[in-house]
Structure 1
Amino acid sequence: MAENPFLSTDFDIRWSAHTPDLIEPAIQQALTDAQATIDGIAALPLEEVNYANTFLALEESTEILNLAWGKVSHLQSVADEPALREAQNKMLPEVSTFFARIPLNPALWERLRAYAESDAGQAHTGIHRRFIDETVADFRQAGADLPDAQRQRLEEIQSELAQLTQKYSENVLDATNAWQLLVDDVSRLAGIPQHARDTARRSAESKGLGSPEKPVWRFTLHHPSLEPVMVYAEDAELRRQMWEGSVAVGSAEPHDNRPLVPKILALRHEEAQLLGQPHFADHVLARRMAGNGRQALDFIVDLQTKAADAFAQENAELEAFKAAQTGEPQGRLKAWEVSYWAEKLRRERYAFDDESLRPYFPMNRVIDGLFELSSRIFGLVIKARPAGEVEVWHDEVKAYTIHDRDGRHLGSFYADWHPRESKRGGAWMGYLITGGPQPDGSRKPHLGYILGNMTPPADGKPALLTHREVETVFHEFGHLLHHLLGEVEIKSLNGVNVAWDFVELPSQIMENWCWERESLDLFARHHETGEPIPEDMFQKMVAARNFRSACATTRQVQFAKMDLLLHTNTEAYLADAATLEQRITADVADTMVPTEPAGRPILYRFGHLFSDPTGYAAGYYSYKWAEVLDADAFGRFKEEGIFNPDTGADFVRHILSKGNSEDPAALFRAFRGRDPDVNALLERCGLRASA
């Protein structure tokens, strides 16, 4: 009988063979085999336990299950359809329960602890010492020391959370896909860039709407469709309709997340209290760089305070600018006017328009430039695999290999950059296979992917990106390098499996090269003439970089503050679940641009917080913390040369290759020579004068 493709460890994955009907038998088999291995460890006589038959055996026990379930989850993210969703949802409770039970298995824990506390266990050093310590800490944090009844309740909580957060994610995707705005009057499109108009017309045609004689333009809530309208459309009513559609995602039937959020918060709070923590934030952050919820919230509030005066000034400036332009009395802007008038103010102040950069960022050149930059800095050789050599899940997907200069195959990856209705929104990186150093001294390659929802190609022209989209491509590639360059022999400690508030450093540091003249010249070339960005345009772009930076900073503070408040004061918010949104809105109101009507927090469409049992919950602050790390770390490149291969080699040596093999604070110090300095971020944002 042929092997189930979901269980196959083949490096070149046959995606066409991964059909929904094979998911249940594959996952059932993987669960059975993994459980058998764990049962074997748990049945070992205590006097026979050793490193190989406990810790290493546990590490290997879930390898096939992780691979198979990773394929299922990945396909649901990029090729969602009813049969696939049904198959995933059927197996999700079993998978979640299985993983929740591992640290709650008393016999397994007894044997791991027995070896960890033995003389042999205590004698380990280096990565093996780290692995033992991290595993023991994982088990204790997950409730291994709890009595039976509480352990059973934790299993139930994890299963419930997996199902609720999956439903939350599906609601966001389905609500986004269900909404559309059709325009049949071309005059309503005034101000909207031509590329966005063309995309909207093709979108309508794909739905059988309109004709050459009577065209229709179809706008959706996917970012490449939404943003041009909110920033450029002169028709205020069009902007209002788009804004109202956007803020309603997840908060209306039949895709309503309002009843799910209190349930998710309550279960997380119960989990934390079962584990002896006052709230979920302290539970989650105990082993992260922040340490606890209070310190994370203090960091965020401190950032808010430092940006507060500039935030107020920027809002007042925008109100005054609109009044001067319209002749109306100065007052609060409408919620759907902020982006529109901010762009007009930026154009007037800097004579600069983001759209003017698009012709210089064709996707193919951006990718080629990113690869050339990676070659210069990190010594990598990246090549596209010939079409047809390896299967992909959609014809837009491309496959690549990464080698070092010595010819070692470090890893391979897939890239899938444009939106589809079957694909969830946003941009993300993930991995399918973890290779790395092997016991025999060889090294196996890693396999990962990067995905996004960037502006698609149009009318025979290449995909022309915004500068922010270019930053996103670089960002996700940084995550990918963290996985593919990993040199950690313990797979669960490789790559992005690091403290959550450290994981964004490799990704966010890559965005810095999108702002340097020397690196931009590698790829920012006009798609028709090949000319680089003109110097006067570059200078305007740099000058405009920190336009409304206090608002941008405070927006991220808003998300992080909301997250931490919900997960530190959960009981207070749940005392009256019906008013949860109103109360959290009031508590973060000082971080929201004052508008009329007031904006709404993204509580019911906040996938980072609620689309995973944990995810970024109590950890959204890590984006700003990682900005501190990346601004400071990039300072070394600025000092030594942004293409300095020795500095790049050090970044690989101390950060990209290390995964979770050492404490992240120690890894940062090894690269930078000291602890991170928050002033590096403030200076980059223009919120603090440089020394």
Structure 2
Amino acid sequence: MSQNILLNTFETPYTTAPFSKIKHSHFLPAFKQGIKDAKAEIDAIINNSDSPTFENTIEALDYSGEQLDRISSIFFNLNSAETNDSIQKIAQEVSPLLSEFSNDITLNEDLFERVKSVYKSKNELDLTIEQQTLLDKKYKSFSRNGANLPEDKKETLREIDKKLSQLKLKFGENILAETNKFEMLITDESDLSGLPDGAKEAAKQLAESKQKEGWLFTLDYPSYIPFVTYADKRELREKLSLAAGSKGFKNDALDNQKIVLDIVKLRHERANLLGYKTHAHFVLEERMAETPEKVQSFLNELLEKAKPAAEREFKNLNEFAEELDGLDQLQKWDGAYYAEKLKQKLFSLDDELLKPYFKLENVIDGAFIVANKLFDLNFEEIHDIDKYHEDVLTYKVTDNNGNLVSIFYADFFPRAGKRNGAWMTSFKPQYIKDGYNSRPHVSIVCNFTKPTKSKPSLLTFNEVTTLFHEFGHALHGMLANTTYPSLSGTSVYWDFVELPSQVMENWCYEKEALELFAKHYETGELIPMDLVEKIKESATFHEGMQTLRQLSFGLLDMSWHGGASPETINSVKEHESETFVNTTLYPEVQENCMSTAFAHIFQGGYSSGYYSYKWAEVLDADAFEYFKEEGIFSKEVATKFKDHVLSQGGTENPMTLYKRFRGQEPKPEALLKRAGLIEK
């Protein structure tokens, strides 16, 4: 048995990650040994004297490197949710090694010959649909990533991939450092005018935790959002807004401008090397959307529908601000503030009114009850498995027969070592091997308002939908039931992956669902039905502006990855401003830059894929329409969704899966109606 716990089989409940026993010093040697062992498995495939078959080549390849994958998932999840200087240093060392190993596989001629041999004989093989998909995916993972290149170009590809892996890490490290660096300390209580008591108490508590007098505000969302939404003092909203909008854009040690330009140039060069016109052409070949032209057309079509509504809403908001405070021009730091006031006026509804009914623990229970009613899942909090931080909650998920479905981790509060935002991930995938169905370990990570001395964590309605969104991704991972790890759970086309998450948000607006968990944290009183009606009425409030904002991000992504050669772009800010020209409502802010903090596309996996949020909205609106027709807790529809979508992972073309569930292709009308952009 190795002294390095990462290199042993985990002797833990459900073989969960033994976080408390893992030392930072374990990671680098574990990665090196894991790569060495995985290479030995690849060599065994290549040196097999038997003729290449699906089993001894394609299947063996998919099951290889299991230990390395496990080490990677533990390490990189910690680097996102509980990082520090030591982990970031290891990440910079390890990423090039993993990039090199990945290239060692895809550029290995002998291995590709075996894969090609099986691929060429696929019509003679009696393969299941899942096996056909795996064969196609494995062949393309070689052909699309340089296997057919001459030797000198393979070396160029290796260099590009190595540089990209380091640049993406550095981009993320800079954003986290910027977020942690900024603090706004307020010592005059009058400067807190307009802020809810909960936000003030949280700021006071944060200041005390850092031995400071006063109220401390940061760029973490639970601190930032309430301030820009409620604080009356305009110059302080401006200060906070400018700090958030200028991350990575200060020409200092944490600047991301050159990194952005380097990333897009390298991605473009890589795509050209592989025979594609742009990075977007390369990426979208393996997406439902298929081409950049289709994505552009999809975004522009929605833009045409949303822009008139957005301009109308913005004009109304401007007039409202002028009428209320004599403001002649709305700026970005005014938007959330006046939108909240207008919403209160129109619907007599604000987050402070709703928050008492959305205690975090109740909302978690609500998500669990919805999952039970729809998919027969049972969640039990357990305390016998290791956590990477004391805030993390751990659950055992079972079906109605008591069979283990998944282990579930939930991590809800911000801290210094955790990046902003919300995401789902996994520590172990689901797959079936030697007749054994190995169940997944799934995690969701969010940044919600922490409990204070006097109040539990009370969520804004936006945070409620975020929790349900990430929980939808988690269900996709938990309910996976595929044979091969690379096709399991959320391993689907990127523009399909948001369907399970976005469809779950719909239950947050339904009376029948809210009645299950929306109870006052002090009195236990059920949320009044007039508030439920107001939530539904206000669901399309400023939907035009919200849609325009999402479209602007999608268009920006496509402009970086699907437009003219990046060699012609010298200024990140200028390029961004030109791209935003058709989607801009607020006056330009020179100090701000979106791209330098656009982690989805420069650090995460959404490059040429940000459009997929809107793409999946078409699917989710259409899918939920089906639930509404039959009843939002219809067992029949839920079972179809589980059997044809959630459990299938990437085993078939997503549109085939969707049509099997729905009986037809999705209709965009459902989305446009729900958004109030066309008449119902």
TM-score normalised per structure 1: 0.95
471 and 220 in structure 1: CA distance in 2 versus 1, 3 angstrom threshold: same
Q: What is the aligned partner in structure 1 of residue 651 from structure 2?
A: 661
**CA deviation profile, 1:594-649 (whole Å, cap 9, x unmatched):** 2364784411000001014xx10000000000111011001111011111112111
Taking the aligned partners of 2:449 and 2:677, their CA distance within structure 1 comes to 31
Taking the aligned partners of 2:79 and 2:509, their CA distance within structure 1 comes to 35
Q: What is the aligned partner in structure 1 of residue 229 from structure 2?
A: 231
Q: What is the aligned partner in structure 2 of residue 377 from structure 1?
A: 374
Taking the aligned partners of 1:126 and 1:553, their CA distance within structure 2 comes to 37
Taking the aligned partners of 2:301 and 2:508, their CA distance within structure 1 comes to 28
Taking the aligned partners of 1:100 and 1:464, their CA distance within structure 2 comes to 47
Taking the aligned partners of 1:627 and 1:503, their CA distance within structure 2 comes to 11
Q: What is the aligned partner in structure 2 of residue 305 from structure 1?
A: 304
SS at structure 1 position matched to 2:441: strand
**Is the 2:63–2:484 Cα contact (8 Å) retained in structure 1?**
no
Q: What is the aligned partner in structure 2 of residue 7 from structure 1?
A: 7
Report how far residue 460 of structure 1 moved. Answer: 4.2
Report how far residue 505 of structure 1 moved. Answer: 0.4
Is 1:643 aligned to residue 633 of structure 2? Answer: yes
Superposition map of 1:34-45 within 5 A: 34-45=38-49
1:35 maps to amino acid: K
Superposition map of 1:413-492 within 5 A: 413-440=408-435, 442-492=436-486
**CA deviation profile, 1:193-226 (whole Å, cap 9, x unmatched):** 111111111111111111xxxxx11100011101
SS at structure 1 position matched to 2:349: coil
Taking the aligned partners of 2:329 and 2:554, their CA distance within structure 1 comes to 25
Taking the aligned partners of 1:269 and 1:101, their CA distance within structure 2 comes to 22
341 and 649 in structure 1: CA distance in 2 versus 1, 3 angstrom threshold: same
1:525 maps to amino acid: K
Taking the aligned partners of 1:191 and 1:176, their CA distance within structure 2 comes to 24
Q: Which stretch of the first structure deviates more once superposed, 413-422 or 109-118?
A: 109-118
**Is the 2:407–2:441 Cα contact (8 Å) retained in structure 1?**
yes
Taking the aligned partners of 1:580 and 1:202, their CA distance within structure 2 comes to 38
Q: What is the aligned partner in structure 2 of residue 277 from structure 1?
A: 276
SS at structure 1 position matched to 2:405: strand
364 and 281 in structure 1: CA distance in 2 versus 1, 3 angstrom threshold: same
1:198 maps to amino acid: E
Taking the aligned partners of 1:335 and 1:309, their CA distance within structure 2 comes to 19
**Is the 1:379–1:645 Cα contact (8 Å) retained in structure 2?**
no
Is 1:629 aligned to residue 619 of structure 2? Answer: yes
Report how far residue 143 of structure 1 moved. Answer: 1.9
Superposition map of 1:338-349 within 5 A: 338-349=335-346
**Is the 2:16–2:441 Cα contact (8 Å) retained in structure 1?**
no
SS at structure 2 position matched to 1:149: helix
TM-score normalised per structure 2: 0.97
Equivalent residue in structure 2 for 1:25, among 7, 26, 29:
29
1:34 maps to amino acid: A
Report how far residue 8 of structure 1 moved. Answer: 3.8
Superposition map of 1:51-200 within 5 A: 51-118=54-121, 122-200=125-203
**CA deviation profile, 1:72-120 (whole Å, cap 9, x unmatched):** 1111122211222212221111011111331111111011111222368
SS at structure 2 position matched to 1:522: coil
**Is the 1:574–1:580 Cα contact (8 Å) retained in structure 2?**
no
Is 1:574 aligned to residue 578 of structure 2? Answer: no
**Is the 1:655–1:667 Cα contact (8 Å) retained in structure 2?**
yes
Is 1:365 aligned to residue 362 of structure 2? Answer: yes
2:376 maps to amino acid: G
**Is the 2:81–2:418 Cα contact (8 Å) retained in structure 1?**
yes
**CA deviation profile, 1:346-372 (whole Å, cap 9, x unmatched):** 111111112210000001111111111
SS at structure 2 position matched to 1:255: coil
Q: What is the aligned partner in structure 1 of residue 405 from structure 2?
A: 410
2:238 maps to amino acid: R
Taking the aligned partners of 1:206 and 1:132, their CA distance within structure 2 comes to 55
Q: What is the aligned partner in structure 2 of residue 606 from structure 1?
A: 598
Superposition map of 1:309-320 within 5 A: 309-320=308-319
Equivalent residue in structure 2 for 1:220, among 210, 218, 233:
218
1:145 maps to amino acid: N
**Is the 2:164–2:266 Cα contact (8 Å) retained in structure 1?**
yes
Taking the aligned partners of 1:447 and 1:519, their CA distance within structure 2 comes to 27
Taking the aligned partners of 1:430 and 1:9, their CA distance within structure 2 comes to 21
Report how far residue 338 of structure 1 moved. Answer: 1.3
**Is the 2:249–2:593 Cα contact (8 Å) retained in structure 1?**
no
570 and 101 in structure 1: CA distance in 2 versus 1, 3 angstrom threshold: farther
Report how far residue 557 of structure 1 moved. Answer: 0.1
Is 1:16 aligned to residue 20 of structure 2? Answer: yes
Q: Which stretch of the first structure deviates more once superposed, 355-364 or 49-58?
A: 49-58
Report how far residue 270 of structure 1 moved. Answer: 0.6
SS at structure 2 position matched to 1:48: coil
Report how far residue 121 of structure 1 moved. Answer: 6.2
Q: What is the aligned partner in structure 1 of residue 391 from structure 2?
A: 396
Superposition map of 1:539-550 within 5 A: 539-550=533-544
Report how far residue 232 of structure 1 moved. Answer: 0.5
RMSD, matched Cα: 1.5
**CA deviation profile, 1:104-141 (whole Å, cap 9, x unmatched):** 11111011111222368633232111111111122211
479 and 555 in structure 1: CA distance in 2 versus 1, 3 angstrom threshold: same
Is 1:335 aligned to residue 332 of structure 2? Answer: yes
SS at structure 2 position matched to 1:609: helix
SS at structure 1 position matched to 2:494: coil
SS at structure 2 position matched to 1:267: helix
Q: What is the aligned partner in structure 2 of residue 583 from structure 1?
A: 575
Is 1:356 aligned to residue 360 of structure 2? Answer: no
**CA deviation profile, 1:536-556 (whole Å, cap 9, x unmatched):** 222222111111100000000
Taking the aligned partners of 2:210 and 2:636, their CA distance within structure 1 comes to 53
Q: What is the aligned partner in structure 2 of residue 592 from structure 1?
A: 584
Q: What is the aligned partner in structure 2 of residue 673 from structure 1?
A: 663
Aligned residues: 675
479 and 3 in structure 1: CA distance in 2 versus 1, 3 angstrom threshold: farther
Report how far residue 49 of structure 1 moved. Answer: 1.8
**Is the 1:21–1:87 Cα contact (8 Å) retained in structure 2?**
no
Is 1:519 aligned to residue 513 of structure 2? Answer: yes
Taking the aligned partners of 1:104 and 1:194, their CA distance within structure 2 comes to 59
SS at structure 2 position matched to 1:390: coil
404 and 127 in structure 1: CA distance in 2 versus 1, 3 angstrom threshold: same
Taking the aligned partners of 1:653 and 1:566, their CA distance within structure 2 comes to 38
2:632 maps to amino acid: I
Taking the aligned partners of 2:218 and 2:124, their CA distance within structure 1 comes to 57
1:74 maps to amino acid: N
1:468 maps to amino acid: N
**Is the 2:242–2:591 Cα contact (8 Å) retained in structure 1?**
no
**CA deviation profile, 1:130-183 (whole Å, cap 9, x unmatched):** 111111122211122222121221121111100000000000001000000010
Taking the aligned partners of 1:231 and 1:417, their CA distance within structure 2 comes to 21
Identity rate, percent? 37
